[in-house]
Structure 1
């Protein structure tokens, strides 16, 4: 380690330069460092090394001393070795993608495939939804499940009874590890609804809080003072929370009006607690900023914030988080390439097999031989292969005409945003509705063809319909205290069942009677 007394070295160098300049008035300053006696300075160096109050020299001064050949410290790689940063994307547009949308009834947008289309188009990892309008009823389960494409899950918080607004949900990639989920239903907060998910991503812990504040009315008897009192308390609680933090949602405040009293109060609250609001573009049809994306200033978590398509009367907006995406889910599958079988060669091998050359009279032996011979031939002509398949979100009903309709919708939207004229808005609305209708009909046509292809295979048909309706049959197990105890009960049950079948076989008159007692019931 090179460490020298900065003050002593400075005085020594200045003294030497002054002394040498008096002795050699015509010598240029650049030549001084090459002409001064090294022995004199090395003696001083020995005295300096005895001093224990040492300081690190700046890198540029150390280089100057090294150029004189005065340092006895071996050079290191300081300043040459590249710094290793933690696994994050500080300035990159890649990383975990998170989007937010006030969808104003997720029912219609789930059945038409709009939410799934947005997830596939923008490759969304976390999708926060406000104003879903879902109720806590079984009839809404279909719509809730329709929001989750393959590889995704949902945390749904339905709206309260009698509430014409509300309902929030978070659709997230199953690759993301979940630490906890919670909502404020059982709390004393009345002016807004919220839910949170704590994600664990590698070495990072990230908390997402989704908030929706309904506009005050005579029905809900809410006011802005009640909101700020409760919201400030929630923000203060999250200030000392561990890990990184993001607030998103719709607060129904006109945050684009800088001199509005509510905007001033909101900005003072967030700034005083060390938070920052990142949305700076209009998110509502009327040109106001009603939605928020708030994070701690020191976290350096949010980047590439953008406001995109207007899906309802709100725009879709999102950002990238400085967190590495988890690897995609993959599974290993086994398959046979039956189309590669040469049928003529396959028939010749069957004719030359023991099935033809050495027929058997015993039925059981013949069945075993059929099994063995045909399996061996199948392994020869179409061997089993294994490969890893990455599970990706697919939309097989998306056609070229849908691409054209989407381009027309975006073109009309850009024109309306530039001019903000009523005529352009009507044209954009017509293009948007046309695209949504075409997307819905394309999806219906694809699913209808899929059901027709099942033909008379009713088992396949019902399986397809259950997949379309997102019906998942729950696994029912008997009541048990532990998994080990349940496995022992199953083993005992089937062992007893087989033994009773053997004991009750009556082959004297060529008849078989079976009596089986059951000891396990699934309730």
Structure 2
């Protein structure tokens, strides 16, 4: 019976010992320990140590905090440091990555408290040697600050070793200095795929957008047929065309304003592509080449096009545009790479960087050499499966023809009365008719300059279309409104509605123009001059040809004939010298007898 009592006493002793231990722990819990870590900080230290151990520079630990550090000091960061490259891909939804926090620091924004120490430690390594960096912004104690120390740079690079280069100051234009006039030309490239059923649409587009040049590939015009080009060309414009001589389709054409000095250049013909070449200006001309390459062999096209580029190597300023039927966006294609490398070898720059076809390919290209091409835009159109490419180039002022100005006097009834009131001619006292006439004329001109001085009037270049009636103008307003709606929404139904109105407008203008010329011919059937002028304005084309020549070619031509004349002179033997006798001498004298005088 004593054994159970001993076990109960021992159990009570253990309970008392437990209560005593709990009391001691509870009473001493208010004492501060040397270091206190919460859960988040321990996890941050663990991830930071793992990243340091796995770094490329080997295991390295930051030095302890220096005793003189102010905990309230903000982050001292340099301005304009380049962002390092991203070493790995960031997962979607992550907003606490290294680059995100580094951009916040460079923008001067505060870092969140939940930012991991591993990310902050990487930021410290990138911003090496720049002073104090706040690892955990907003921490109340100084233990959250570390000093970045200088590490060994394996590649020996230092931004302090870079020298700043002085830039050339911009040119200052003095007040009153002469500046050349603006001679920028606005151009558009379009693959029309037949202008027969869209000539009036292109005419309205040319006039509305105020283009100076319109480059058209695939005009589908037959030889000696310029009727649709006449319909397309406004009154103040002219055109050059190169239709396909055999078969259907193809063809190129250029529409330009008349105040530009333009000439068509005769050049070689190639079997793999069609082209037309024009010359803009005279002193420092710009040569424009429009190319259309039908689908076919790429090797033959590259060979022929290289011959064309070789023939233009003496020219200073060239622009080449057109539909090349080469997927310029697909650099993995060997034909594309070979074509672009060939253009680069001739120092041509390509400016189109987007899809120009409905299928998403870049087929219509713009190349330039020695020219500034800017403001390039690719716009969608509904009348072709190609998009239009518009751009600007700078031309010399001499490329513009001088304006045709006229001087005239405006004489009316009031002019006659004023002239009569001011006429007080007193003839000079002389009988010389010439003197009296000159005095009278001078006096009349002096009075006429006062009452009716000369006024300069310039010829108007506004296009005149007398066949446009109110119905056509309403259709034009309707289709432009539909175009703005389609551009704003991008819906297919709005695109089809705009296309339908555009076709109705083109048909209405075609019918009105035909009726106008029919009535004009019927009214002047007895006037041959009006009839011939009317027919000529409809079916004739401006014939202009110019040879591709430069100053060196002209000098070579001149020296050829000079050398030929010198060679001919050297082949002719010299003529014998003329013998000149002495003065006449009287050697014989006969007496004149009287019989000889009878």
Look up the match of 1:43. none
1:129 to partner: Cα distance: 1.7
1:321 to partner: Cα distance: 0.7
Q: Aligned to 2:188, which of 99, 102, 122?
A: 99
Look up the match of 1:228. 302
Instruction: Give the distance between the partners of 2:361 and 2:290, measured in 1 at CA.
Output: 20
Q: Is the 8 A contact 2:202 2:232 kept in 1?
A: yes
Q: Aligned to 1:250, which of 310, 323, 342?
A: 323
Aligned length: 339
Q: Is the 8 A contact 1:176 1:201 kept in 2?
A: no
1:265 to partner: Cα distance: 3.0
The aligned runs of 1:325-474 (5 Å cut-off) are 330-332=403-405, 387-397=456-466, 400-411=473-484, 413-414=486-487, 418=490, 421=492, 423-444=493-514, 458=527, 462=531, 465-466=534-535, 469-470=538-539
5+ residue gaps, structure 2:
1-163, 418-447, 544-598
Instruction: Give the distance between the partners of 2:351 and 2:171, measured in 1 at CA.
Output: 35
Q: Aligned to 2:388, which of 316, 331, 345?
A: 316
Q: Is the 8 A contact 1:328 1:391 kept in 2?
A: no
Larger radius of gyration: 2
Look up the match of 1:153. 238
Q: Is the 8 A contact 1:192 1:214 kept in 2?
A: yes
Deviations 1:256-303 (A, max 9, x none): 34434433333333334322221223322333221111113xx24211
2:288 is the counterpart of 1:208: yes
Deviations 1:387-443 (A, max 9, x none): 422331414455642441342342354257x46x5x454334323323323443454
2:351 is the counterpart of 1:278: yes
Q: Supply the RMSD in Å over aligned alpha carbons.
A: 4.3
Q: Give the direction of change, closer, same or farther, for the CA distance of 1:305–1:412 in structure 2 (3 Å limit).
A: same
5+ residue gaps, structure 1:
1-57, 61-77, 217-222, 347-378, 475-523
Deviations 1:46-90 (A, max 9, x none): xxxxxxxxxxxx999xxxxxxxxxxxxxxxxx979725999779x
1:119 to partner: Cα distance: 2.7
- Structure having greater relative contact order (Cα 8 Å, sep ≥ 6): 1
1:245 to partner: Cα distance: 0.8
Q: Give the direction of change, closer, same or farther, for the CA distance of 1:432–1:385 in structure 2 (3 Å limit).
A: same
The aligned runs of 1:193-204 (5 Å cut-off) are 193-200=274-281, 204=284
Q: Is the 8 A contact 2:260 2:400 kept in 1?
A: no
Q: Give the direction of change, closer, same or farther, for the CA distance of 1:135–1:449 in structure 2 (3 Å limit).
A: closer
SS where residue 338 of structure 2 aligns?
helix
Q: Give the direction of change, closer, same or farther, for the CA distance of 1:439–1:286 in structure 2 (3 Å limit).
A: farther
